[in-house]
Amino acid sequence: MNPQYRAYHPRWYRKSVPIFWWLRKRSYAAFIARELTSVFVAYSAIMLVVLVLAMDRGEAAYVGMMDWLATPIVVAAHILVLLVVLFHTITWLNLAPMAIVVKLGDRKLPASAVLMGHYGAWAVCTAIVAWLLIWR
C-alpha cells in the first residue's frame, strides 16, 4: 500500500472523555478507589518483608522497628493502611459469589452460601494469624 495513503485517512469519530471521568459518579469513583487499594496491598507486602528481616537480625532491630511503628504519624499512616485494606477485603469477598459458581449435581449453591463461606474463611485466617503471633 502506498504509505502516503494513511496521511489522508479521515480521523475516526471519538467522543472525548475527560481524564477524571471517574469522579463524575460515585460508583465510578468507588471502582477506581477499589483498584487503588492494590497500592496499599503492595506496600503491606514490602513492610512484612522488612519486619521479617528485622526479626531475623535480632531483638534490638525488632524493638527499634516496633518503636518506629509506635510513633504517632506512623500509627496514623498504618490506621489508614488498615482501613484501605479492609475496603479491599470487603469489596473482594463481596464479589466472590459473582466469580464463583458452585454446582451440586444440577443445582447451584446459593450465592449467600458462597459469601458466608468466604467470610468464614476470613475469620479462620484471622484467628490463625492471631494464634501464631499472640496466643501461642
Give the residue among 53, 46, 50 at the shortest CA–CA distance from 81. 46
Residues numbered 93-132 forming contacts with another protein, rule: CB under 8 A: 93, 99, 121-122, 125-126, 129-130, 132
30 binds another protein (CB under 8 A): no
d(CA 2, CA 128) in angstroms, rounded, equals 67
Q: Is 85 exposed, middle or buried (0-12, 13-18, 19+ CB in 10 A)?
A: middle
89 binds another protein (CB under 8 A): yes
Residue in this structure with the C-alpha cell 459518579, named with its chain if needed: 25
86 binds another protein (CB under 8 A): yes
Which grid cell is 99?
466469580
The partner residues of 108 in beta bridges, in order of sequence, read 103
Min separation Cβ 120 and another protein, Å: 11
Q: Residues in the site for another protein, rule: CB under 8 A?
A: 17, 19, 21-22, 32, 35-39, 41-42, 44-49, 51-53, 55-56, 58-59, 62, 66-67, 69-70, 75, 78-79, 81-82, 85-86, 88-89, 92-93, 99, 121-122, 125-126, 129-130, 132-136
